Amino acid sequence: MTRKQPGGQNTRRYTYRATVSVSRPLVRRSTLSQRDPRAESLEKHARRQQEPVMMRRRVTMPHEAVQPLTWAERRERFRQPQAQRQPAQTRLVQRTLAQTGRAAPVGQMRGSRPLPRRRAASPVPARSRQRRRGFWRKLLGFLALLAVAGGGIGFALISPTFHVQQLSIEGTQNQSLIETIRHMGIQGQNIFLLNQSALVTRLEALPLVASAGLSIQLPSSIVVTIRERVPVLLWQSGNTIFGIDQDGVVIAPASQLSGVDRLGLVIDKRPAGGMHPGTRLRAEDVLFVEQLFAQLPGIEGVSPFTLQYVDTIKEGGQTVPANQAGSGSFVVISASGWLAYLGDAQNSNSLANRLQELQQILNIARQRHLQLATIDLRFGSRPVYTVKS
């Protein structure tokens, strides 16, 4: 018995039943008794087997289609012990047009999908000859690539094409600074071996340079960008006047700088020789002096004046430190002949209070017609002044 079950909505089950003829020798009536019923039965059965076979078909309509278990469900069920296995639970799904070939508004069928293919546990091993041939090909390719890379690196390091031939300097018009940079040995170096950070450090170490930048333009050009220091104050040490920037750095002699004619001048009375381009003053003292030059002209009776810097003064015929803090003091020398000791930026009394005290003392001297000799404002709220005898 065979069954044929095509997929689709109107699924029918056909049952074919056929009688297979078996060739058996006929039982001769002569060998058995004519009255033997068994012989007659065998003879009728043999005649029936020799008759043509009539095929009968039985058609049945299933009420529903059952979807088989998925691969994961089947694997999980297989892993369970035999005693715990439950009968297969199947899911019912709606029929689809792709499965039946026509629209199926009602009815359910067995949903099926192919099992996933499993990869082989290990690839088919290659032949040993092919493996050796692939190894040598890779080795030769690597050596060729290494040779090309080595040749390119050697050409870049040895060829004069990549040596610095053009040096451009931007951001400054100072010829002395430009010549200094050009004589730093930058030209002629290999552009790939140039230590940029060390070169920038050398450039920024120059007294005239506040900051520097470096950019490389292949194959053989370098652009140096300079930001110069701007002098805000003039400082005279001995017979030389230097320009000082806001950070306290001694830039260069004033004769080498431009635009310094209107800057305030401080005359240093200390022994000369300790100041040169590149040395530093305290940035607080530079700011203190800038404020002095901005505010002293507004005090009546002070202008014109000269500002000096001393580290010792004479009191009672003795030389004493000019400041209790261990540093020097700025001294205002008026054209009227009096001196005012202001201290420096490290004094506890603010500059505004010291200038206010100076204004009050000058008013008192004007009202009383006093000839002032010295005014000492270094000791906070205890200003002292002396008059000429």
Predicted confidence (pLDDT) per residue in 340-376, tens digit: 999 888 888 889 999 999 999 999 999 999 999 999 9
**Do 237 and 251 reside in the same domain of the chain?**
yes
b/e burial code for range 69-82 (CB count within 10 A of at least 16 → b): eeeeeeeeeeeeee
**By the 8 A CB rule, do 344 and 285 touch?**
yes
Domain boundary among 178, 196, 228: 228
Instruction: Give the SS3 label for residue 242.
Output: strand
* Residue 118 located in a structural domain: no
Amino acid, single-letter form, for residue 186:
I
Q: Structural domain of residue 177, as residue ranges?
A: 161-228
Say if residue 275 is in the same domain as residue 318: yes
Q: Is residue 332 part of a domain?
A: yes
pLDDT tens, residue by residue, 258-307: 888 899 999 998 887 778 899 999 999 999 999 999 999 999 889 899 99
Mean pLDDT of the chain: 78
In a domain, 284, yes or no: yes
Phi, psi for residue 287 in degrees, rounded to 5: -65, -40
> How far is 339 from 377, CA to CA, in rounded Å?
11
> pLDDT digit string (tens) for 237-264?
989 999 999 999 999 999 988 888 899 9
For residue 38, give every residue at least 6 positions away whose Cβ sits within 8 Å of its Cβ, in sequence order, or none. 32
Least confident of 114-123, 136-145, 294-303: 114-123
**328 and 192 fall within a common domain:** no
194 within a domain of the structure (yes/no):
yes
CATH number reported for the structural domain that contains residue 209 in this entry: 3.10.20.310
Q: Which of 228, 247, 280 is the last residue of a domain?
A: 228
Query: Between 191 and 114, whose confidence is greater?
Result: 191
Residues 259 and 369 placed together within one structural domain of the fold: yes
Which secondary-structure segment (H or E) carries 311? none
Query: Tell me, what CATH number does 287's domain have?
Result: 3.40.50
Q: Do 249 and 215 share a domain, yes or no?
A: no
**Per-residue pLDDT, 30:** 45
Q: Are residues 302 and 371 in the same domain?
A: yes
Tell me: do 178 and 257 sit in the same domain: no
Reading the block at residue 36, the tokens are 């033997």
Last residue of a domain, one of 172, 206, 228: 228
Asked whether residue 36 is domain-assigned, the answer is no
Number of domains in the chain: 2
43 in a structural domain: no
237 plus 179 within the same structural domain: no
Residues 253 and 311 in one domain: yes
Same domain assignment for residues 320 and 368 = yes
Residue 138 is assigned to a structural domain of this protein: no
Residue 46 lies in a domain: no
Residues 206 and 284 in one domain: no
348 with 238, same domain: the answer is yes
